[in-house]
Structure 1
Amino acid sequence: MQCRMRNTDAQPPEVEVVNQLETETRPPDGGWGWVVCLACFLTNCTILGSISINGIILIELLDLFNDSLSKTTIVCSIISGTAMFGGPLVSIALKFKASYRQLMMVAGIIAAASAVASSFAPNIETLIFTYGILVENKRSSVDEMEGAENLGFEAEDERCDDSNRRISEDIEPLPKTLQARQSITSEIIPSEFYNRKSSYCNGTIFKNKYFYLLLAIYTTHSVGNSVQIYLPVYVVSVGLSREESAQIMAIYGAIGIVSVLLVGFLADIIHIPTSYLLMAAMSSMSLSSILVPFCQSFETLALCAVLTSVGYHFGVSLRIVLISAILGTCNMTAAYSILSGLIGILYFLYPTIKGFVSEATQQFSVVFYFDFAITFLGAVLSCGIIYAQKTGKFVE
């Protein structure tokens, strides 16, 4: 009789829950995730490629329309500005229940039609609208997909409420039927993660002084990058050919791809602190900026492009990582939208301002001296992020 009772007790409901969880585990994308990944890869190739050739396009536009440098530069600056400034707009659209697929499809259609229309633009003003604003609106959707929301944090408050509920479940005694499920989920996602995440779901990102410091650093990171727009023009101005300037920018783009992979390897495999990598990025950009005015040959200018590309792409890759580390994943979407909006405004303004300065001084070297000063300031400010990480101020 006791054996019979033991056999009946050996098949509690919780075992059925475990089997149900194991049998119902299926890929949420239905196995088509690789298609989405490929589409995002191709989209990034076309978008980043169009931004990387801004300087080469600038040379051609100056010859084609014979307009001033400051005015022609608006076409290139507004491309990068629209690419980042649209981030908050996409976040608003997502809040109104628009899906990623809908945003990407609409943006893709607009971008394709605008690219065709740009080939018939009769003047700079038309090109500013068709190529600068409309073509690059697609980047906004891509940037948001690279942000927190595509990681599953689409409704921050709802997720935080859910995490609080899970914490209370860990504290309160659970029925036997749920003990197996609790043990499985606690192994997959520890309760400390929810404790840590929920404490940063109160919308107080503006009370964190390190977030302001990060905004200041990325201000210098954005303003101090003139290579994409002005380096090809400078290369031609020192007597090199347009083909050589295009080759230098091709090197810049290739090193950018390597840098994105390298920063992940250094952070995840070798475990170099991300704050150190941020300082290295700003220092690399600062060094290349001060070297450009003293370089006259293809080899030295290509080296400057390499240093700038490493620093710039390191910084871009670390944006979301540092936001998540400083503010927590619950605030990642809101903080990233704020940062991308700020960067978008800076991308609108600084190339045009530098164009006016270059025309007034009649030399390009002033632009790179300014870049050196601003990126050096960013390298100094990054010491504060190192301090925050070493003293345990990071959330994750």
Structure 2
Amino acid sequence: MLKTSTEPKDPGEAIEINVVQVTPSPPDGGWGWLICLSTFYCNFIIVGLQTSFGLLYVGMMDTFHDSASKTSLSGAFLSGFTMLVGPFVSGLLTFYSHRCVIIAGALIASAAMFAGAFATRVEMIIITYGLIGGIALGMVFFTANVIIGMYFVKRRALAFSLANCGSGAGMFSLNYAIRQLLDRYAFRGTLIIISGLVLNIVVFGALCRPVDCNTENSEENQEMKDEPTSSQTLISAKERLEDSHFSERESETCTLNKRLKRPSDVFHVSSMEEIEVYVKDDKRKQTSNKKKNIKETCASFFDFSILKNPYVLALSLTYIFWAANTIPMVFLPAYLLSIDRTKDEVALLMSISGIACTVGQFLVGTLVDFAHVPSQYLLTLSMVTLAAFTFAMTIGRVFWSITLIVMIWSITLGFGISLRVIVAMDLTGMDDFSRAYSQLMLFNGIGYAIAPPLSGWLFDVTHSFSAIFYSSAASLLLATVFALIINYRTNKKQH
């Protein structure tokens, strides 16, 4: 809401304040496709690094020779804190633009990964690559995915799906690229090159300019035109004061008018004495507001009231257990090597997984936007299928059978990645989407942070890949239960 004032040239003239409404104008195309491209690259790097950690995990084990649970912490922190910082970034966007947050996150993440290349102990990798890198990439990931919702309305599901295809493309490209980089430059050289790829996010972040806005007169402003004596803000003096005296009061009054935030704040005064009263009241309000600044700032960063919405709570619990999909991502390369698959076969299989994931992400957008399949149904189907094929990974021994299992698993993983945004938007709408998505990322990040260390500890105890894959499948079945609750409540509400 904006208010403009017309200052009087003569002390006896009235000061008029016009109230106008500023609303975003999503173009549903145009520059929005460049926003999609920017988000595509952000997802390409971030999700590509998360899913290719299995190969980096092998390189770290060869470099530091530490335990599986400790070594997996760096990947868990990277994936976990990328999601955990959602509420913090949501509050940050109330003070800074999307463009600034993306660029700052990219610079911090690139510097952290470059510093990690000189680590002498695995704990240093956990702090630089995992903790700092995860927080910084979380700033990028959340902001890049939220800004798409501001540029699209009618084609929103398609736009989200196209942008999230970057996740699958990253899985395909980075798995193969990291495999080659580890052979040529070892683990440390690979981290330096990765820091350069992350630095490129700065260029794409610069494209994320604020969405254009329409400025329209509000209803209150229309009433002002019809009833100028009662609705418009007219400030006139009953007495003709000296120019210097009026100029001083006029300055205070205009300053006060600029601070007005709501149409209800527009008032009518008839004398300079009343102006003085309003100015004094405004100064008292400013003093009171300063005392509340710290509390309000913290509240903007950590607003959990959205969890009172049962749909948001159920979706958040769904994705905290869905995060168990990261277990096969981390341990699948090591498992394949343990059953006598070659490193080239492992890299090829992970690249195929990335292609299949991209197909799944694009397919979601077409099914929701063109086939009009409810996103909640697709979410439940993807959870069940993902759990079944996670369990099946321990059965295959021949390369073609493992490839088929991983392909179907990856397609359903792509469904889950895209639906994380689409379902949140469908359940809450644009007004609450940013808050809901930040809480969703928080819960998802908790799952990402917990799952790999627990599975690494389980492997240290049992020395069995089957045990950790079974635990992942069990967690995904729990996610299915909460997805079914969302379907049930949605159907009940519709009827």
TM-score of the pair, normalised by structure 2 = 0.61
| Map of 1:22 onto structure 2 | none
Q: How does 1:74-223 map to 2 (within 5 A)?
A: 74-95=73-94, 97-136=95-134, 137-147=136-146, 151=150, 205-223=306-324
Query: What is the CA–CA distance in structure 2 between the aligned matches of 1:300 and 1:377, rounded to whole Å?
Result: 27
Query: What is the CA–CA distance in structure 2 between the aligned matches of 1:53 and 1:347, rounded to whole Å?
Result: 14
Matching residue within 463, 469, 479 for 1:362: 463
Mark the CA change 1:140 to 1:297 in structure 2 (over 3 Å): closer, same or farther.
Answer: farther
Give 1:140 shift.
2.7
2:344 corresponds to 1:346? no
| Map of 1:52 onto structure 2 | 51
Query: What is the CA–CA distance in structure 1 between the aligned matches of 2:358 and 2:317, rounded to whole Å?
Result: 26
Task: Provide the secondary structure at the position in 2 that maps to 1:226.
Answer: helix
Q: Give the alignment's Cα RMSD to 1 decimal.
A: 3.2
Mark the CA change 1:227 to 1:140 in structure 2 (over 3 Å): closer, same or farther.
Answer: farther
Task: Provide the secondary structure at the position in 2 that maps to 1:121.
Answer: coil
Query: What is the CA–CA distance in structure 2 between the aligned matches of 1:51 and 1:379, rounded to whole Å?
Result: 23
Task: Provide the secondary structure at the position in 1 that maps to 2:384.
Answer: helix
2:143 corresponds to 1:42? no
Deviations 1:39-80 (A, max 9, x none): 333232222221121111111111111110000000111110
- Please identify, of 263-272 and 381-390, the stretch whose mean Cα deviation from structure 2 is larger: 381-390
- Counting aligned pairs with the same residue, the percent is 30
Q: How does 1:153-302 map to 2 (within 5 A)?
A: 205-302=306-403
Deviations 1:104-163 (A, max 9, x none): 11111122222222222212111112211233322432323312785179xxxxxxxx9x
- Check the 8 A contact 2:321/2:447 in 1, yes or no: no
Task: Provide the secondary structure at the position in 2 that maps to 1:147.
Answer: helix
Matching residue within 408, 415, 419 for 1:314: 415
Gaps of 5+ in 1: 1-25, 154-161, 176-202
Deviations 1:249-279 (A, max 9, x none): 1111111111111100111111111121011
Task: Provide the secondary structure at the position in 1 that maps to 2:85.
Answer: helix
Q: Amino acid of the residue matched to residue 232 of structure 1?
A: P
Query: What is the CA–CA distance in structure 2 between the aligned matches of 1:359 and 1:217, rounded to whole Å?
Result: 28
Give 1:83 shift.
1.2
Mark the CA change 1:56 to 1:209 in structure 2 (over 3 Å): closer, same or farther.
Answer: same
Mark the CA change 1:393 to 1:128 in structure 2 (over 3 Å): closer, same or farther.
Answer: farther
Mark the CA change 1:28 to 1:278 in structure 2 (over 3 Å): closer, same or farther.
Answer: closer
TM-score of the pair, normalised by structure 1 = 0.75
Query: What is the CA–CA distance in structure 2 between the aligned matches of 1:204 and 1:138, rounded to whole Å?
Result: 25
Query: What is the CA–CA distance in structure 2 between the aligned matches of 1:36 and 1:372, rounded to whole Å?
Result: 35
| Map of 1:385 onto structure 2 | 486
Mark the CA change 1:250 to 1:129 in structure 2 (over 3 Å): closer, same or farther.
Answer: same
Q: Which has the higher helix share?
A: 1
- Check the 8 A contact 1:354/1:367 in 2, yes or no: yes
- Check the 8 A contact 1:82/1:140 in 2, yes or no: no
Mark the CA change 1:28 to 1:328 in structure 2 (over 3 Å): closer, same or farther.
Answer: closer
2:163 corresponds to 1:62? no
Q: Which has the higher strand share?
A: 2
Gaps of 5+ in 2: 1-24, 153-214, 227-303
Query: What is the CA–CA distance in structure 2 between the aligned matches of 1:204 and 1:63, rounded to whole Å?
Result: 46
Give 1:246 shift.
1.4
